[in-house]
């Protein structure tokens, strides 16, 4: 029997948690491993073997490094095999088709493109697993001798397909011993429901508007409609990804783990640099620790710092997808960060905060255009429509969109700033508010379930990466 997404999730989560709580502690990691395989194989019944292969390679590389601890040559060979095998999996399944198409187009060839389906979340679990062998080689962590515990780390179902990227060191102690108590489970449920509401009630709602606009003819797109559409996507991708991250963090707490924070109200940022300290924080940390710092970071002068930033952001763009728009998106941010660091730093410091926030939001909005519209020609056409090249300011679709989505967009914009949470903390400070919280969570959960049961539009954007 093939379950629809909501039905599968509503069955999988409670059953998995009940089994996990019921078994003795010595079996809990095994439950995590097998439920992770089940969760992943629901979406990828064949490619689950790719994830198991990646896990096995890195486990064996780790055991080899431990076995030959005093032989640095063998340790380095084990690391190189781990890195090459993981990057090869990414290269074959994520980038081979793109490279073949690019070569065919550039040299007018007709090389065969197998057009392999992309395993869900391959960029997440390969980076996560590969970080273990790198940290082990650096002697930052100790080897995990139990395959089940290591596999539980890689395949843990809350964050396996869309992050946050959890490093082994983040949860090494909890794999060995963790406490599961009422407070942690209650806190985890609250975080999970918050993430579910963000994803289902906000991201899905504004996403429907963007989908309608994205499918339009950009050459005749009214300016107001173009702005409404890209604002909707700006909010959709935040609430979609941060909502899933919250659900993963919440589920982690229910299982006894503390996953790292992945978002910190990025649309409040004062600069683009600040934005990338707040957006997808675990990915930024991964590239900083495993690419930027090993290249020398900012320690070897301006020229090499610029080189390192461009390499990191080229790779960041490539990580998100095998398409020229992602490469352009990465380079776009690399250039912006270089300009902020070396050209406009003193100017930005003198500007009022409101001006720098507007500049940052506009930079991010235009970044999302590059990110979401695959064709460079269509990107330019869409940007042109934003500035009136179609000669139309608005039409009946614009008015209908304002009528149908303005309240949702306003609520989403205010919520993305964190203002409701700050107000709630101020109002509830020193008061008994557990009843109100429980009531609010119950309403949010019920509304989300009702939406999922009834709606056909429910994309998870970052499953594609």
Q: What does the pLDDT read at residue 109?
A: 86
* Bond into 164 cis (ω within 30): yes
What span, in angstroms and rounded, lies between the C-alpha atoms of 228 and 240? 18
* Radius of gyration, alpha carbons of the chain: 23
For residue 213, which of 199, 224, 226 has the smallest C-alpha distance? 226
Q: Quick one: pLDDT at residue 39?
A: 85
> What six digits make up the tokens of 131?
């970080």
Q: 300 near 206, Cβ under 8 Å? A: no
Place of tokens 């460079």: 376
- Would you state the pLDDT for residue 355? 95
Q: Are 55 and 129 spatial neighbours (Cβ–Cβ below 8 Å)? A: yes
CB 250 within 8 A of CB 188: yes
Which among 441, 438, 459, 461 has a CA at the least distance from the CA of 449?
Answer: 441
Backbone dihedral region of 303: left (phi > 0), alpha (psi from -120 to 50 degrees) or beta? alpha
- Calculate the CA 231 to chain-centre distance: 19
In sequence order, the 6+-apart residues with CB closer than 8 A to the CB of 317 are 326, 327, 328, 329, 330, 331, 333
- Tokens representing residue 439 in the block: 């009531």
Would you give per-residue pLDDT tens digits along the chain (465 residues)?
A: 333 455 556 677 888 889 999 999 999 999 999 998 888 887 667 888 888 888 999 999 999 999 999 999 999 999 999 999 999 988 888 888 888 888 888 888 888 888 888 888 888 888 988 999 999 999 999 999 999 999 999 988 888 777 799 999 999 999 999 988 888 898 999 999 999 999 999 999 999 999 999 999 999 999 999 999 999 999 999 999 999 999 999 999 999 999 999 999 999 999 999 999 999 999 999 999 999 999 999 898 899 999 999 999 999 999 998 899 999 999 999 999 999 999 999 999 999 999 999 999 999 999 999 999 999 999 999 999 999 999 999 999 999 999 999 999 999 999 999 888 777 777 766 555 566 677 777 887 788 777 777 666 666 665 555
- Which tokens go with 272? 């683009």
DSSP classification of residue 291: I
CB atoms under 10 Å from CB of 197, counted, come to 23
Give 380: exposed, middle or buried? Use CB within 10 Å, 0-12, 13-18, 19+: middle
- Give the number of other CB atoms < 10 A from CB of residue 431: 8
> Is-contact 32 157, C-beta < 8 A?
yes
Are 138 and 293 in contact by the 8 Å Cβ rule? The answer is: no
Which pLDDT does position 2 carry in this prediction? 37
With a CB cutoff of 8 Å and minimum separation 6, the contacts of 242 are 195, 198, 262, 263
Instruction: Provide CB contacts within 8 A for 463, sequence distance 6+.
Output: 43, 120, 121, 161, 162
The Cα-based distances of 448 to 199, 204, 311, 438 in angstroms read 9, 11, 41, 15
How many angstroms separate the first and last alpha carbons of the chain? 27
For residues 338 and 309, is the Cβ–Cβ distance under 8 A? yes
Secondary structure (3-state) at 158? helix
Other C-beta atoms closer than 10 Å to the C-beta of 460 total 18
Q: Smallest Cα–Cα separation from 35: which of 308, 284, 346, 255?
A: 255
93, 118 Cβ separation under 8 angstroms: yes
Query: What does the pLDDT read at residue 360?
Result: 96
Residue 70 near residue 145 (C-beta atoms within 8 A): no
- Determine whether 320 is an active site residue: yes
412: closest CA among 241, 234, 214? 234
Residues 6+ apart with CB under 8 A from 127: 165, 286, 319
Using CA atoms, how far apart are residues 350 and 345, in angstroms rounded to an integer?
Answer: 9
User: Rounded to whole angstroms, how far apart are CA atoms 454 and 177?
Assistant: 41
Residues 465 and 321 sit within 8 Å (Cβ to Cβ): yes
> In this predicted structure, what is the pLDDT of residue 1?
35
CA angle 119, 123, 126 (to 5 degrees): 95
The active-site residue, picked from 320, 325, 385, 448, is 320
């Amino acid at each position: 029997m093939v379950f629809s997404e909501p039905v599968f999730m509503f069955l999988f989560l409670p059953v998995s948690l009940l089994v996990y709580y019921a078994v003795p502690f010595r079996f809990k990691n095994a439950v995590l491993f097998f439920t992770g395989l089940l969760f992943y194989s629901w979406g990828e019944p064949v490619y689950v073997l790719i994830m198991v292969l990646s896990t096995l390679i890195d486990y064996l590389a780790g055991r080899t490094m431990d076995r030959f601890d005093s032989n640095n040559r063998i340790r380095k060979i084990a690391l190189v095999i781990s890195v090459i095998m993981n990057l090869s999996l990414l290269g074959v399944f994520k980038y081979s088709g793109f490279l073949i198409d690019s070569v065919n187009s550039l040299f007018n060839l007709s090389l065969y493109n197998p057009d392999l389906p992309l395993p869900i979340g391959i960029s997440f679990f390969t980076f996560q697993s590969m970080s273990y062998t790198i940290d082990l080689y650096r002697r930052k962590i100790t080897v995990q001798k139990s395959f089940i515990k290591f596999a539980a780390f890689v395949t843990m179902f809350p964050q396996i397909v869309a992050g946050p990227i959890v490093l082994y060191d983040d949860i090494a102690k909890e794999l060995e011993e963790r406490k599961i108590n009422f407070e942690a489970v209650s806190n985890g449920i609250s975080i999970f429901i918050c993430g579910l509401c963000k994803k289902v009630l906000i991201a899905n709602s504004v996403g429907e508007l963007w989908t309608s606009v994205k499918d339009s003819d950009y050459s005749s797109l009214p300016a107001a409609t173009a702005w409404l559409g890209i604002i909707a996507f700006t909010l959709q991708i935040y609430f979609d990804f941060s909502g899933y991250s919250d659900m993963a963090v919440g589920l982690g707490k229910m299982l006894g783990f503390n996953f790292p924070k992945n978002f910190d109200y990025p649309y409040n940022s004062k600069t683009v640099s600040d934005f990338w300290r707040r957006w997808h924080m675990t990915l930024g940390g991964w590239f900083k620790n495993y690419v930027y710092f090993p290249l020398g970071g900012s320690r070897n002068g301006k020229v090499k710092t610029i080189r390192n930033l461009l390499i990191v952001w080229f790779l960041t763009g490539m990580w998100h997808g095998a398409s020229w728009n992602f490469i352009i998106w990465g380079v776009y941010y690399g250039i912006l960060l270089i300009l902020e660091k070396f050209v406009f730093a003193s100017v930005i410091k003198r500007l009022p905060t409101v001006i720098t926030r507007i500049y940052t939001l506009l930079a991010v909005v235009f970044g999302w255009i590059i990110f979401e519209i695959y064709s460079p020609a269509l990107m330019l056409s869409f940007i042109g429509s934003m500035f009136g090249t179609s000669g139309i300011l608005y039409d009946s679709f614009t008015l209908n969109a304002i009528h149908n989505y303005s309240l949702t967009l306003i609520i989403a914009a205010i919520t993305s700033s964190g203002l409701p949470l700050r107000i709630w903390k101020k109002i509830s400070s020193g008061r008994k508010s557990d009843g109100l919280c429980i009531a609010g969570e119950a309403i949010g959960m019920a509304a989300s379930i009702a939406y999922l049961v009834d709606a056909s539009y429910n994309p998870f954007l970052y499953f594609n990466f």
